[in-house]
Amino acid sequence: MTISNNKVVTLHYKLQEGDATGELVEETFGSDPLVFLYGVGQMIPEFESQLSGKKAGDAFSFGINSEEAYGEYDPDAVVAIPKDTFVVDGKLDETLLQEGKVIPMRDPDGNQLLGTIMEIKEEEVVMDFNHPMAGADLFFTVSIEEVRDATESEIEHGHVHGAGGHHH
């Protein structure tokens, strides 16, 4: 069975920054595999494109340039936010404000964003809303473990159920 829309794909991967000699970002070999429903937008589109037509037992490597991964680093996504934004029940939440901490925020339209605290100043907090891998080329080494038809319920819900997937 080959990978195509509405197939459940189980695979192991190693992700490195740049190329095969780059810094290791994460790896599933030796642990639980990645299990996902192909074709519903859960993965980077170019990642899925590289898997199309592959089958269980296939092992291969490929690169994805930053523009097709998490985009280029956007300096305009680094913003200074007034410190009083972080006041909870009349007090500044000091446990929340730590450099390097990733916290959920909302934009003016109510959309949730994740921001990394870069610097804490006297009156403001500098946050970076770029994806942590923005501007980075990615290199994957992949081993396809299993490909199966998704159930009607998985297709309806848009995700895998059971082992490696979502539990209702």
Alpha helices in 56-166 (DSSP H): 152-157
Summarised one tens digit per residue, pLDDT across range 26-75 is 999 999 999 999 999 999 999 999 999 999 999 999 999 999 999 999 99
Summarised one tens digit per residue, pLDDT across range 133-165 is 999 999 999 999 999 999 999 999 999 987 666
Same fold, 7-70+133-157 and 75-128: no
May I ask the CATH class of domain 7-70+133-157? alpha beta
| Structure-block tokens of residue 91 | 């007090």
pLDDT value of position 114: 93
Residues 155, 136 contacting (CB under 8 angstroms): no
| Cβ within 8 Å of residue 141, ≥6 positions away | 13, 14, 16, 20, 59, 60, 61
Residues 56, 67 contacting (CB under 8 angstroms): no
Taking the model in full, what pTM does it have? 0.82
Summarised one tens digit per residue, pLDDT across range 97-131 is 999 999 999 888 988 999 999 999 999 999 999 99
157: enclosing H helix or E strand: helix 152-157
Domain boundaries, the chain: 7-70+133-157, 75-128
The closest alpha carbon to 65, from 140, 158, 159, belongs to: 140
Q: How many whole angstroms separate alpha carbon 49 and alpha carbon 70?
A: 15
* pLDDT above 70 (res 167): no
Q: How many CB atoms lie within 10 A of CB 131?
A: 16
Amino acid at the residue 130: N
The closest alpha carbon to 58, from 138, 139, 2, 140, belongs to: 2
Summarised one tens digit per residue, pLDDT across range 77-88 is 999 999 988 888
* pLDDT above 60 (res 168): no
- What is the Cα Rg of the chain in Å? 20
The closest alpha carbon to 37, from 148, 167, 168, belongs to: 148
pLDDT value of position 88: 83
Compute the 3-state secondary structure of the chain and give helix, strand, coil in percent, each to the nearest 5: 15, 40, 45
The fold adopted by the segment(s) 75-128 is Thrombin, subunit H (2.40.10)
